Amino acid sequence: MHHAAWEYALGALALALAVWAGWLDWRSRRIPNWLTVPAALLGLGAQTLATGWPGTKSALEGSGLGLGLLLPFVLARGLGAGDWKLMGALGAFLGPARLVVVLLGTVAIAAIMAVVEMVRKKRVKQTLANLWTLFLIVFTFGHHAVRDNITLDNPGLMALPFGVAAALATVGFFCLVVALRAFRP
């Protein structure tokens, strides 16, 4: 298979994964292992078939980068494990450079969703205080923060479907890629 065909196939699989996970997260606020774990293995296998060892390396780097960057937030219970594994699986399809763009887009979209939701629910002050506590927990490894039950397990706290933000960012990324290629001289 030609290199461009593999690139389109990997992109289509990444898009399918992101949209499916986003839909599941929207409906149930969960992204299940039966989706993320096989998807990560499929991404690794597809990258390997596409370009051999460089593809394997790209898939492992992308997956490792996604998992590594988000691990502190999972350990602080500020991000769900399904969201974390989704970004690892997307990294296997996208590789490290593309994953960084999608992850930054995901964080930006999640931030916009959070601002809209906290204004809508009139919880701006409490949400900002909780974010500060979460920041201290993550960046001081829990040494300079009082937890105050700021975890995903607390039903009283505002929770957002991170998978939806990841799906929107992935779709946006590929729309941008297509648009840029269309206008390439």
Domain count across the chain: 1
Q: Residue 134 CB: number of other CB atoms within 10 A?
A: 19
Residue with more model confidence, 152 or 89 = 89
Q: What does the mean pLDDT of the chain come to?
A: 88
pLDDT, one tens digit per residue, over 58-109 is 999 999 999 999 998 898 778 899 999 999 999 999 999 999 999 999 999 9
Phi-psi region of 103 (alpha: psi -120 to 50; beta: other; left: phi over 0): alpha
Could you tell me which of 85, 83, 82, 51 has the C-alpha nearest to residue 166?
83
Task: Tell me the pTM.
Answer: 0.84
Over residues 35-45, the mean pLDDT reads 97
* Domain enclosing residue 93, as ranges: 3-182
Let me know how long the chain is.
Answer: 185
pLDDT mean over 133-152: 64
96 vs 129 pLDDT, higher one: 96
CA 38/CA 52 separation, integer angstroms? 20
With cut-offs at 50, 70 and 90, classify the pLDDT of residue 42: very high
Give the pLDDT confidence of 1-23 residue by residue, as tens digits: 677 788 899 999 999 999 999 99
DSSP class of 53: H
> Does 119 have pLDDT greater than 70?
yes
CA gap 136, 154 in Å, rounded: 18
CB atoms within 10 A of CB 167: 26
